[in-house]
């Protein structure tokens, strides 16, 4: 009887610990994703005007391998820091790439062409990324799937035709389940999950954004944090995502 009570007490304490840890993780008071992300050798950041002026030699010197820089949004907006970031980041040893924030209100072909016009050649740079996530009230009122899939596919195909490499899709689990799953499984996936290592989806993820509350040196903007990511592979495998065409 005593032995059973002891086992019951131990199991109860373990369950309570799991619950407490879960609550702390959800409240972002503790982070467990850096522990899991530490298993991957290639890591990098994604930045935009929120990080303000960036001292790229300082940022690049903090054990980073790649950086994705926000370039465009929709069919008419260029990130105000893109030109400077693109030029200065290109002087470092980082692999760099440019990402586009997808708009649900604009035609995919127009968004793709706008990105191409603003970014130009990606020779020697990482494959283009299309960031697809809900904004405004889209989370509670998602746009029709058929139309989103149609426009996103057109954008991806246009970018692939220009750069001769499959674009990467960055997304959240919510958007993944609404639009990406089963529709775009032949495209590399960059998944956001700041709570735990993402579960394999289809052929699995390629990039993982594991933190949105990391603080590094080398930037001065309205946002004190910087997004951290890992690549699921080694340096040789990352080379496969480098654009070869002019």
The residues annotated with a catalytic role in the active site are 46, 133
Residue 38 three-state SS: coil
Q: For residue 63, give every residue at least 6 positions away whose Cβ sits within 8 Å of its Cβ, in sequence order, or none.
A: 43
Determine the 3-state secondary structure of 8 from DSSP.
helix
In angstroms, the CA 163 to CA 236 distance is: 20
- Contact, 133 vs 175, CB < 8 A? yes
Beta strand 42-47 with 226-231: parallel, antiparallel or unpaired?
antiparallel
| H-helix or E-strand spanning residue 155 | helix 145-163
Structure tokens belonging to residue 52: 């303000």
Within 13 Å of residue 180, how many CA atoms lie on the same side as its CB? 28
Structure tokens at 129: 């990324």
> For residue 201, what are the CA distances in angstroms to 191, 226, 227, 231?
10, 26, 22, 15
In terms of Cα–Cα distance, which of 222, 148, 233 is closest to 190? 233
Geometric angle at alpha carbon 150, from 144 and 153, rounded to 5°? 130
Spatial distance between the Cα atoms of 150 and 159, rounded to a whole number of angstroms:
14
């Amino acid at each position: 009887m005593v032995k059973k009570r002891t086992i019951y007490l131990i199991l109860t304490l373990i369950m309570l610990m799991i619950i407490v840890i879960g609550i702390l993780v959800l409240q972002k008071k503790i982070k467990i994703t850096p522990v899991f992300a530490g298993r991957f050798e290639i890591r990098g950041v994604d930045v935009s005007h929120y990080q303000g002026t960036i001292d790229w030699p300082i940022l690049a010197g903090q054990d980073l391998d790649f950086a994705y820089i926000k370039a465009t949004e929709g069919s008419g907006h260029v990130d105000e820091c893109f030109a400077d970031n693109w030029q200065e980041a290109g002087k470092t040893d980082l692999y760099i790439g440019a990402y586009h924030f997808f708009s649900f209100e604009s035609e995919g072909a127009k968004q793709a062409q706008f990105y191409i016009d603003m970014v130009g050649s990606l020779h020697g740079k990482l494959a283009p990324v299309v960031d697809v996530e809900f904004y405004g009230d889209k989370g509670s009122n998602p746009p029709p799937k058929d139309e989103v899939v149609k426009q996103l596919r057109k954008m991806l195909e246009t970018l692939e035709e220009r750069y001769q490499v499959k674009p990467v899709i960055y997304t959240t689990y919510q958007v993944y389940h609404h639009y990406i799953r089963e529709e775009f499984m032949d495209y590399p996936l960059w998944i956001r999950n700041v709570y735990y290592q993402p579960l394999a989806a289809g052929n699995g993820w390629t990039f993982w954004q594991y933190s949105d509350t990391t603080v590094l040196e080398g930037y001065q903007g309205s946002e004190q944090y910087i997004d951290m990511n890992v690549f699921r592979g080694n340096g040789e495998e990352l080379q496969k995502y480098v654009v070869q065409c002019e």
